[in-house]
Amino acid sequence: MKTFASLLALALASPAVAQEAEPLLPGTSAAEETAERQLARIAELDDAGPELNAVIVTNPDAPVQARIADEAGLPLGGMTVLVKDNIDTRDMPTTAGSLALEDNMTGRDAPLVARIRAAGGVILGKTNLSEWANFRGDDSTSGWSGVGGLTRNPYAIDRNTCGSSSGSGAAVAAKFAWAAVGTETNGSITCPASINGIVGFKPTVGFISRTHVVPISSTQDTAGPMAVDIYRAAMLMNAMAGTDPLDPATAEADARKPDFTEGMIDANLQGVRIGVMRNHVGNRKDLENVFDLALGDMERAGAILVEIDKQADQEQVSAMFRDSFTVLLYEFREGIDAYLAGLEWDDEDGARPTNLRQLVAFNEANRDTELRWFGQEVFRQALETTDTEAYEIARANAVRIAGEEGIDALLKEFDVQFLVAPTRGPAWTTDLVNGDNFNGSIGYGSPAAIAGYPHLTVPMGQIEGLPVGLSIIGTKWDDHAVLKAGRGYEKARTAELPEPTFERWKPAEREAEAE
């Protein structure tokens, strides 16, 4: 029987874990006391102090549930998990960050949540997010929602947390829970993981059910683990992955599901051929220096690095993004209409939206709160994207360019198993008036998102105290191998990782250069 203590010992096999064992209070179990301390930490740092706003609601029964799960000897043994607030949980509202769903008590668990509970995981609460998973309007600010307010970065509270799984990223970085669940359509797990200095894994679309998750795209949406190290991410993948009869994309999941933790303790990079996406490092020399250190660590660990010197066809890249956006608009309209229509709640005055058109009207009626900082141009575009034939052509084109003609072609041409690049640059200063300040020259995550392929980000260092991550990308269903490669790098990493300050950013003090 695996207990909380034995599972924690396994997780602590990774040097990245910073969860210290403390003496137990009389009459409590390790799992129970850990959950109590995590709730107290949320109260101290999320609700007060720096007010990270990473957590929207907590579960006061979590400590007792953790003790029961630990005593039952279940696989996760009472480990606490925070869940992004666009995923249904039976005991807490699911808001997607929007005031339109503020009281949305569905009374049901999404299958991925039910699986976590069945494995002995305890849902500690729901995390803040970029409202509607950052798919509402132009000039949005990642990490802001009408329900949760603005999520702040633990490493520098005036810096952004990226979107849309901003709360999950910040909460894990702040050590509010053992792990968290995020969702991604295009960068919404990997970007906040990178910027908040944690591990984030976007699995192959089809490994994890999307049923009862507020949707954007049936082609690209997936949930995934966010944690302080890869072993925990693998443990959470074991719990979440599996076939769901209500989600056709997961039909192969049970047959393809490995034990994601197998081989993690001894994982290494000896003889692994890795393609280096030098053209996606961007225009920052400081980021290139951190990336070069990571490459050196991998090479010293036995990896064979292969420079990918092929220039992308810019017309194809433009077509991929154009067609993918068409797919998102079309699938969002259909998906959100189905989700809203399927809700059952007391709405005597008829103010709650049951489709996208009504949701647009709700936002207009609540303009002072919902539309203060940015609009809903994307929602309006989705309402007009109704051509099914054009959608089907766009979907086939985008997926082909990103997958078969993109990632798969590079892996084959250069005879490599994975592609690596920086995930993102360091966190930018949050600006609600002007919106996000993404550097689009950095990273290669979009092809993985559009193709539905696995994409892992692992902390690789820092720039002026701000974390940056390393992306490792593989082909469809190669998730276990991607995680093992990440674990191999994690063990070989020599970069000094920063610690959260819970303060505003300030320049690092530097020693005077010798004359």
Which are the catalytic amino acids? 84, 164, 188
- Taking the C-alpha atoms of residue 513 and residue 515, their distance in angstroms, rounded to an integer, is 6
CA distance 231 to 223: 17
CA Rg, the chain, in Å?
A: 22
The CA–CA distances, whole Å, from 283 to 18, 92, 264, 307 equal 33, 44, 34, 18
First to last CA, the chain: 62
286 alpha carbon, distance to own chain's centre:
25
Hey, how many other C-beta atoms are within 10 angstroms of the C-beta on 110? 27
Residue 84 CA to residue 182 CA, distance in Å, equals 6
Q: Positive or negative, the Cα torsion across 409, 415, 418, 419?
A: negative
231, two tokens: 């072993």
Distance of CA 137 to the CA centre of its chain: 20
The C-alpha atoms of residue 173 and residue 499 are separated, in whole angstroms, by 9
CA atoms in the 13 A half-sphere facing the CB of 355: 6
d(CA 404, CA 169): 31
The sign of the dihedral angle between the CA atoms of 273, 277, 278, 284 is: negative
Amino acid identity, position 364: E
Contact indicator for 231, 459 with CB cutoff of 8 Å: no
Give 471's strand partners: 421, 457
d(CA 168, CA 175): 11
Packing angle of the helix pair 4-11, 230-240 (nearest 10 deg): 130
Between helices 62-71 and 30-45, what is the axis angle to 10°? 160
CB atoms near residue 377 (< 10 Å): 13
The 10 Å Cβ neighbour count of residue 60 is 9
- H-helix segments, 2-144: 4-11, 30-45, 62-71, 111-118, 131-134
CA distance 205 to 455: 11
